[in-house]
Amino acid sequence: MTAYEDAPAGTVAALARFGARYEVQLGEPAGDDWIRADRLLVPDGPELTGLLKHEYDGRGHTSEHATALSFMAVYAGRIPATALLLWALEGVVLDVRPVNLWVKPATDAGIEAVAIRSLEPLPGGLPALYDVTLAGHLLPLAAELHRRTRAGLRQLRGGVASGTALGFCAATRETVSADPKVLAEKWAEFIGGAPAGLDRLGEVTTVDRGGRDILVYLRNTCCLYYSCAAGGGKCCSSCCLTPRDDRLAGYAAG
């Protein structure tokens, strides 16, 4: 019996020590500002339309294309993070099917909070994790964003890859850090069998930051962050437009 089975709520809550992106609320939330995640997969649904406008206005985007890429990367970096880290550390698959999740937009842009209806684990191991995070959630969302906008499907899937990688990498960067070697091995296991060619869209590697190893992701696609007002003309830390050595040096410097 795992620690998760002994005290599921406590084990999931404890993941927040690795960073705020791993925090989830338990139970169906109240309030009109929460959106159930399956509503974002509805073709031309108003919920996704509203979140894209929120992203466009909040970051000062100038095109629907760039807005979609930015939103995909941010969403993928927040929504499945708890489930990915729980699987990596405990081998447990959290039920993060879209029908079981709610998202709350942040005041300016991005996602402020995530709520989950139930902490009952799912059987099936890694194939089940692929189903609830990728095949049944992030990849259909990428397809809907592609259909709605001019954003390329490969670029959108690059956002899926970078976002899910952050679920593993971010836990090595806080004051309380998970073992980077363990998480690098679990990332390799996860991405090795992931659908849609996500393994070709970037790489996770180790960087020494101040005498401590951290995991970072180097993208092979661009999210056009530099084109929005929030980006200020600068590429994001993992951008493929920046030479690899420069990206590694930037990560090492913090």
Please, how many CA atoms are within 13 Å of residue 163, restricted to the half-sphere of its CB? 30
Q: What is the mean pLDDT of residues 13-26?
A: 95
Quick one: pLDDT at residue 9? 83
Model confidence at 1: pLDDT above 50: no
Quick one: pLDDT at residue 2? 41
Q: What is the mean pLDDT of residues 224-251?
A: 93
Q: Could you tell me the two tokens for 31?
A: 């309030």
| Verdict on whether the full-model pTM lies above 0.85 | yes
The structural domains of the chain, with segments of one domain joined by +, span 3-253
With a pLDDT cut of 90, the percent of the chain lying above it is: 89
- Digit-coded pLDDT (tens) for 153-194: 999 999 999 999 999 999 999 889 999 999 999 999 999 999
Q: What is the mean pLDDT of residues 230-249?
A: 93
Do 161 and 155 form a contact (C-beta atoms < 8 A)?
no
Quick one: pLDDT at residue 7? 39
Quick one: pLDDT at residue 3? 38
Identify any residues that bridge with 113 across adjacent strands, giving them in sequence order. 104
Quick one: pLDDT at residue 6? 40
